[in-house]
A and B are shown apart, each in its own frame.
Chain A
Amino acid sequence: MVEYAQTLNYVSAIGTAIMEEMRRDERVVAWGQDLVSMRGTFGDAPGMIDEFGGDRIIDTPIIEQAIAQMAVGAALAGSRPIAYIATAGFLSVCFDTLFMKMGAMRQEFSYKGPMPLVIFCRAGVGGGFGADHCTSTEALFMHTPGLKIVMPSTPYDAKGLMKAAIRDDDPVLFIASGPLYFGTKQFVPVEDYIIPLGQADIKREGTDITIVAWSGMIPKALNAAEILSKDNINAEVVDLRTIVPMDIEAVVKSAKKTGRLLIAHDAMKRGGAAAEIAMKINEVAPDVVANLKTPIRRLAAKNLGLPRNRELEAELVPQIPDVIQIVKEMV
């Protein structure tokens, strides 16, 4: 019996997961900019900073390369660090560490031991804060060997996935959705629960078309699906939750059922994750693809840098009407 005793927003759910894991395992530590000094940057689980601040949660200067690299070293040394990098755009500052080292180094050096670390950052459009703060960079890291990528869309998922990420023995890139941080609250179990990495979730059942999405695109897809239902179009929304490892079976199953597949993301279209998913389903289930009623399509941001302007940003990145339009074209 699940005990629903708290309603949490997304960021609090993440903070709660981190606090619970820190209580469970003393090896879990965290660092980054302003985690202690500004409280809440990291999730505002009540008492977390009082309990762990300055000891197991520490502030660093603005040194993203070192923040990420220290996670690698500390993980090899026996800690289970969570390294906080404010935005997914800033990940590019420490690209060498993420791309060349974190997931690949153990293979390069034939090392079979664990490297348990979480790089925690946020991404996502909606605020018009510009490229460095909003760009969705997951495709870059999807192309990275050995790095798991978590991108939750709800408080419930965020808590369970953060716990799974912390307990994982491999490097995990946890990209939270900035726009969802203080969004809709949700009942989140007080008890310990894990959402295994690599399990998609059907956020809405439907029969006419499958929309595969994750993170900040999920609320937009769900809103579009509600509006479409008034026109008797029933869209199924599949939330991948983790894009590496990817639950391609869930995508196959849903596409087989609905006969149509749309992949939508906030990130740029060229070389984006949608291309990978479309090709992957083609490889693992060519029969399903051959029987689709309409070719697979993708909806993604234009191949442009993000402006510091909320209205212009909304022009570049898919919005609810864009989802509705492309679905109507496909059905």
Chain B
Amino acid sequence: MNMDIPKETLLMLYRNLLTARRIDEKHYEIYSAGGSGMPWLHRGIGQEAVSIAICANLKKDDYFKPCFRMRFCLFAKGLSIKDIIASEIVRDIIKDGGNSFYLNPEYGILGFSGSGGEDAGFYVGAALSAKMRKTDQITVYVNGDGFSNRGSVHEAIVAAVALNLPVVFMIENNQYAMGTRSQNSYKMDDLSDRAKGYGMPGESVDGNDILAIYEVVKKHVKRARSGGGPSLIVAETYRLRGHFEGDPQIYRPKGEVEEWWKKDPLPRYQKKLMDMGLLTDADINRIEAEVKNEINEAAEAALAIPRPSYEDHVKTVIGDL
């Protein structure tokens, strides 16, 4: 482990990791209370380290598509927590003066595909645009182990390799594609070996070790930004909740979830910082209180925003031609 990471960065990662955890829990709290307008909830608890470590390596206008269930982590790229929660509970953030959370080119967010992976080309196309516009923007494009199998992801990788585009592809392997174990979809020990087939470098990293991810992403981002072309990172992590809240999870072996809770990235990183002497109990309590307060305020403001109206929906773009 390279311990040259500045103290401010280490503490920023902690605060962001904690914030991500608490936003996910807030979503669950609002969802459980009912009536929020959330059609469903796909939680990301336990996987936050990956997106938080990525964001710490990106500039505001770099293109980044997190694994879909981790999109709430985009606050770490500068988006407002209020807009994130408001989008999750289907509020009219545009009318409220906010920005579209799911599609916001200013922050490098170019949409999410409900048919996951079908957005791969959007983010590779933005990298191509950046190259043609001669900016130094790069793309980090992440899918879970499930959506990474889609044909459009393959085509996007082929494009990035052929055109030598600044793209870091990532697979956030949380071990399950809905109910299908990820190992049912590939036959190698190390999923990052897929990179070899495309002639690009690939490596795997412990997806629950935020500093390990931070270092690996930093290396790949630097490579992409300096014209080195695309590469692949596989982050091995685990989905601690069902595919959606209410999922009976009949596909899990007994005891598996409990084993992975022991590898929860948040307490793990907290302990590391305490061992390093960078965090005290008093710090932990203070940061916890600050984060909770920030999220409670954001959630309260989000819940006060009205739901979008039909008229506003129609007015959004070109309407009925």
A324 CB → nearest B CB, Å: 33
Given contacts A69-B120, A79-B133, contact A106 B110 (CB under 8 A): no
Q: Considering only CB atoms, which chain B residue lies closest to A142 in the complex?
A: B321
Q: A110 near B93 (CB under 8 angstroms)? A: yes
By a beta-carbon cutoff of 8 Å, the part of chain A in contact with chain B is 27, 29, 31, 55-56, 58, 60-61, 63-79, 81, 96-97, 100-101, 103, 105-113, 146, 148, 170, 244-246
Can you name 29 A-B residue pairings with CB atoms under 8 Å?
A: A31-B128, A61-B159, A66-B156, A68-B121, A69-B119, A69-B125, A69-B155, A69-B156, A70-B122, A73-B63, A73-B121, A73-B123, A73-B125, A76-B110, A77-B130, A79-B129, A97-B152, A100-B115, A101-B113, A105-B111, A106-B103, A106-B316, A109-B100, A109-B102, A109-B103, A110-B312, A111-B104, A112-B100, A170-B317
Given contacts A60-B159, A65-B155, A77-B125, 16 further A-B contacts (CB under 8 A): A60-B163, A64-B155, A66-B156, A66-B158, A67-B121, A69-B120, A69-B122, A73-B121, A78-B105, A81-B129, A96-B118, A106-B103, A109-B101, A110-B313, A112-B94, A246-B321
A70 / chain B contacts, CB cutoff of 8 Å: 121-122, 124-125, 128, 156, 159
- Distance, CA A240 to CA B136, complexed state (A): 44
Q: List B residues 109-163 near A (Cβ within 8 Å).
A: 110-111, 113-115, 118-130, 132-133, 137, 151-152, 155-156, 158-159, 162-163
Q: B115 near A66 (CB under 8 angstroms)? A: no
- The listed residue (B104, B111, B155) touching A66 by CB distance below 8 A is B155
Is residue B318 within 8 Å, beta carbon to beta carbon, of the partner chain? Answer: yes
- Distance, CA A112 to CA B155, complexed state (A): 29
- Among A60, A105, A246, the one with the most B-chain Cβ atoms within 10 Å of its Cβ is A105
**Total B residues in contact with A, Cβ cutoff 8 Å:** 46
A81 / chain B contacts, CB cutoff of 8 Å: 125, 129
Q: List B residues 202-240 near A (Cβ within 8 Å).
A: none
- Among B125, B155, B316, the one with the most A-chain Cβ atoms within 10 Å of its Cβ is B125
B158 CB → nearest A CB, Å: 5
Given contacts A69-B124, A73-B129, contact A58 B159 (CB under 8 A): no
B122 / chain A contacts, CB cutoff of 8 Å: 69-70, 72-73, 76, 101
Q: Considering only CB atoms, which chain B residue lies closest to A80 in the complex?
A: B129
Q: What does the 1/0 interface line of B151-195 toward A look like (CB < 8 Å)?
A: 110011011001100000000000000000000000000000000
- Among A63, A69, A148, A244, the one with the most B-chain Cβ atoms within 10 Å of its Cβ is A69
- Distance, CA A69 to CA B63, complexed state (A): 15
Q: B317 near A72 (CB under 8 angstroms)? A: no
Q: A72 near B121 (CB under 8 angstroms)? A: yes
Is residue B308 within 8 Å, beta carbon to beta carbon, of the partner chain? Answer: yes
Is residue B92 within 8 Å, beta carbon to beta carbon, of the partner chain? Answer: yes
B92 / chain A contacts, CB cutoff of 8 Å: 110
Q: A77 near B317 (CB under 8 angstroms)? A: no
Q: B317 near A112 (CB under 8 angstroms)? A: yes
A27 / chain B contacts, CB cutoff of 8 Å: 133
A105 CB → nearest B CB, Å: 5
- Distance, CA A103 to CA B317, complexed state (A): 9
- The listed residue (B93, B121, B308, B313) touching A69 by CB distance below 8 A is B121
A93 CB → nearest B CB, Å: 9
Q: A78 near B113 (CB under 8 angstroms)? A: no
A25 CB → nearest B CB, Å: 13
Q: Considering only CB atoms, which chain B residue lies closest to A59 in the complex?
A: B162
Q: Considering only CB atoms, which chain B residue lies closest to A31 in the complex?
A: B128
Q: B321 near A148 (CB under 8 angstroms)? A: yes
- Distance, CA A113 to CA B107, complexed state (A): 13
B119 / chain A contacts, CB cutoff of 8 Å: 69, 101
- Distance, CA A68 to CA B101, complexed state (A): 23
B83 CB → nearest A CB, Å: 11
- Distance, CA A71 to CA B129, complexed state (A): 9
- The listed residue (A103, A109, A246) touching B111 by CB distance below 8 A is A109
B159 / chain A contacts, CB cutoff of 8 Å: 60-61, 63, 66-67, 70
3 smallest beta-carbon distances between A and B, as pairs: A69-B121, A70-B125, A73-B125
B310 CB → nearest A CB, Å: 12
